[in-house]
Amino acid sequence: MKILVYLEKADVRGGIEIFAERHVARLRAEGHEVEIGEWGRGNGEQRNLGAYDEIIVHKCTDVRTLALFPPEKTTYYVHDHEPICPRTYAYTPFGRNCSCAGGFLPCILCAPACRSWKAALKRVFAQSRRKRIMARFKRIVVISEFMKSRLVANGLPSEKIVVEPPVINLDAVPRSPIPVPHIDLLFVGQLLRGKGVQLLLRAMAMMKTPRTLDIVGTGNMEPKLKTLAAQLGLEDRVRFNGFQKNPQDWMRHAACVVVPSFWQEPYGLVAAEAVALGCKVVAFAIGGLPEACGGKATLVPPGDVAALAKALEE
């Protein structure tokens, strides 16, 4: 079978890109001829889409490009809240997670954050068109029951939605030495507001036991997190290690992997991999994280910094 896997280029190699990479490897191992499409927004007409037996879309932010894919042969993989949330993160400008079904009224009140009203209207209407296009596709694949419930609540057809958690195959990940002698607490992920590292730092400041934290990852919150660590008197207990190609090596050496996500994680690949490696995991019980942990982690109420501090001391 000749398959096109569509994935927009991204500056940061995150969970979506890793999932797609493993998916392509699995399809090729099954004997399929797989081509990866990475063209830019609105330029899908550069390819003869009719030449493929199947099209798998892993990430397509532009609705004009999405409309080019033939519905009868297209499978859309949903990795995050982008298909149902104009702001893509499913939390509001006021710092609260959103559980509303999307629509003009709830979304128009939230979408204008840092944008003009004209841009907000355009984004809300584009979101509505996106859902109509997706509803016509042959299949929609989500990575957790949580995400299926969110898509159904937003009007997408339940009978077309299939739950397919990420494949966890850590035997294929090459091992390499790590540059630090000891890891106590470990955070792995992009340093974005929704990942909740700021909550983890505040929890550390509340703890009676002075534990140390290694942070593996980069992102736009890094300067603010370093400032916060200094303000909380944690400079000597927090190491920012930047991007690491094989974070699984760090997990293998960690006493505890912490997943303090503020946003509603669609799944939680870091948590799932840490559990698979036999690590102790402490996480907020939000979004798809309970599914990713499979009952093998300490879960605390979402956003409860005191409960997080207590769990890390036990």
* pLDDT, greater one: 67 or 169: 67
State the average pLDDT for the chain: 87
**198 assigned to some structural domain:** yes
**250 assigned to some structural domain:** yes
Residues 181, 77 within the same domain: no
Q: What is the pLDDT of residue 283?
A: 97
Q: Looking at 140, 163, 186, which one is the last position of a domain?
A: 163
Q: How far apart are CA 207 and CA 292, in angstroms?
A: 27
Continuous segment of H or E residues that includes residue 37: strand 33-37
CA distances from residue 252 to 75, 177, 255 in whole angstroms, order as listed: 35, 11, 9
Residues 35, 142 within the same domain: yes
Residues 149, 178 within the same domain: no
CB-based contacts of 230, cutoff 8 Å, min separation 6? none
Residues 132, 206 within the same domain: no
- Note the pLDDT tens digit of each residue in 201-253: 999 999 998 999 999 999 999 999 999 999 999 999 999 999 998 899 999 99
**93 assigned to some structural domain:** yes
Range from 70-74, 110-114, 278-282 carrying the lowest mean pLDDT: 110-114
**303 assigned to some structural domain:** yes
**168 assigned to some structural domain:** no
- Give residue 236's region: left, alpha or beta (phi > 0; psi -120 to 50): alpha
Q: At what angle do helices 269-276 and 15-29 cross, to 10 degrees?
A: 60
Q: Are 153 and 264 in contact (CB under 8 A)?
A: no
186, β-bridge pairs: 214, 257
**308 assigned to some structural domain:** yes
Residues 179, 300 within the same domain: yes
Q: How far apart are CA 254 and CA 261, in angstroms?
A: 19
Residues 102, 199 within the same domain: no
- Note the pLDDT tens digit of each residue in 144-198: 999 999 999 999 999 999 999 887 877 766 677 888 888 999 999 999 989 999 9
Residue 10, pLDDT above cutoff 50? no
**For the domain that residue 299 is a member of, what is the CATH number?**
3.40.50.2000
Token pair in block for residue 119? 């841009």
Residue 42, pLDDT above cutoff 60? no
Residues 99, 197 within the same domain: no
Continuous segment of H or E residues that includes residue 185: strand 183-188
Q: Which amino acid is at 86?
A: P
**For the domain that residue 99 is a member of, what is the CATH number?**
3.40.50
Q: Looking at 163, 186, 206, which one is the last position of a domain?
A: 163
Domain span holding position 100: 2-163
Q: Are 264 and 97 in contact (CB under 8 A)?
A: yes
- Note the pLDDT tens digit of each residue in 258-274: 999 989 999 999 999 99
Task: Report the domain count for the chain.
Answer: 2
Residue 41, pLDDT above cutoff 80? no
Determine the longest span between alpha carbons in the chain, in angstroms: 63
